[in-house]
A = this chain, B = another copy of it.
Amino acid sequence: MSPSINSQEVSVFAPATIANLSCGYDVLGLAIDGPGDRVVLRHTPDSKTKGLSITQITGDEGKLTLDPFKNTAGVSALSVLKSLGAEEESFEMEIHKQMPFGSGLGSSAASAVAGAFAVNALFGEPLSKVDLIEHAMAGEALASGAFHADNVAPCILGNITLIHSNSPLEVLEIESPKNFYLSVVYPHLEILTKEARNLVPKMLPVAKATQQAAHLGGLIAGLYSGDFNLIGKCLEDQIAEPNRKDLITGFDEAQDVALNIGAVGFGISGSGPSVYAISEGKQTAEQVTQCIAEVFEACDLKCETFTSGVNPNGATILSRR
């Protein structure tokens, strides 16, 4: 027996995320306790249109398509509908983007997760959150060409996630230590994904690879033991950040300022241009956020800022009727 639709309408939320976290390039990510995407999914059995229709998109500055086969949330929703054998039913979807685009904060992952999660919620959650990761990855791949789950996994599961195996996909969830706070600053400059990708080397000297591994090992130890000093020492990337940081005007100065004020670590969020810092304590994090923003503003860059803890829940159902 295939799963059946057990709600008329659901409204779900999927959070913004920080991927990479420096030494965790391509494998580590965390969910931000703040902005994200909201998706409403409605079962419309009386509709003459079969399948999924996207009826409304807000907050996208007109950039997203209503075609469900070309829309990130649509593709991931269709992937789940297909796996549930329900492609022929009629559904309407609304997408409300409540976070910045192209910011390096996992905007496409949030849409992809919200789409897949909404379908699963409407059917009474027949699939686990881990099962939904591959469906959401299908949606995100459409938008960003990314085939890593480093945004999707924390977006759906919450917490800090380590993809310790890609094939088969295996994800470890790690709770953030007490007093772990994030400063997130999105300076309004455009980074072309293709350009950012071309800056990542294809090959790495073994000494750098072992240093990257040691830092990630140390970071995980720091997260388990709540050792902020260790966390800070290990937040260093050997792969992408040394080249990509030049795309972000003011990066080095923002890093210096953040660390001087009391952040333990600083780096690029995803492929940028957003940057993140980690601090022990909310008050320090708030000061760090403000001072990072001031550096970018002095470079004539407008900024959006968030100061938050780690979102422990990931994708959530806001309402269901």
Chain A residues proximal to chain B, CB less than 8 Å:
23-28, 162-166, 170, 172, 174, 200-206, 208-221, 224-225, 230, 233-234, 239
By a CB distance below 8 angstroms, the chain B residues around A220 are: 217-218, 220-221, 224
A205 (CB) vs chain B CBs: closest residue = B203
- Least CB distance from A182 to B in Å reads 19
14 cross-chain CB contacts under 8 A:
A27-B213, A27-B214, A162-B214, A162-B218, A164-B215, A164-B217, A165-B214, A166-B211, A172-B230, A200-B206, A208-B209, A212-B213, A217-B217, A218-B220
By a CB distance below 8 angstroms, the chain B residues around A209 are: 204, 208-209, 212-213, 239
Q: CB < 8 Å: which of B27, B218, B225 contacts A164? A: B218
In angstroms, Cα B260 to Cα A312, docked, is: 37
Give this chain's copy count: 2
Decide if A23 touches B213 in the complex (CB within 8 Å): yes
Decide if A206 touches B217 in the complex (CB within 8 Å): no
Nearest first, the 8 A-B pairs at minimum CB distance are A164-B218, A209-B209, A224-B224, A27-B214, A213-B213, A213-B216, A216-B217, A203-B203
User: 13 additional contacts, CB 8 Å, given A24-B214, A214-B216, A224-B224?
Assistant: A24-B217, A27-B214, A27-B217, A28-B214, A162-B217, A164-B233, A200-B206, A204-B205, A206-B239, A209-B212, A209-B239, A217-B217, A220-B220
Q: CB < 8 Å: which of B172, B204, B215, B218 contacts A206? A: B204
By a CB distance below 8 angstroms, the chain B residues around A27 are: 210-211, 213-214, 217
- Least CB distance from A174 to B in Å reads 7
By a CB distance below 8 angstroms, the chain B residues around A224 are: 220-221, 224-225
By a CB distance below 8 angstroms, the chain B residues around A214 are: 24, 27-28, 162-165, 216
By a CB distance below 8 angstroms, the chain B residues around A25 are: 210, 213
- Least CB distance from A86 to B in Å reads 34
A25 (CB) vs chain B CBs: closest residue = B210
- Least CB distance from A30 to B in Å reads 13
A23 (CB) vs chain B CBs: closest residue = B213
Q: CB < 8 Å: which of B166, B174, B210, B212 contacts A221? A: B174
- Least CB distance from A26 to B in Å reads 4
In angstroms, Cα B27 to Cα A99, docked, is: 40
- Least CB distance from A152 to B in Å reads 15
A27 (CB) vs chain B CBs: closest residue = B214
By a CB distance below 8 angstroms, the chain B residues around A164 are: 214-215, 217-218, 221, 230, 233-234
A208 (CB) vs chain B CBs: closest residue = B209
In angstroms, Cα B217 to Cα A25, docked, is: 12
- Least CB distance from A161 to B in Å reads 11
In angstroms, Cα B210 to Cα A25, docked, is: 7
Decide if B202 touches A206 in the complex (CB within 8 Å): yes
In angstroms, Cα B233 to Cα A300, docked, is: 48
Counting chain B CB atoms within 10 Å of each CB, which of A163, A204, A233 scores highest? A204
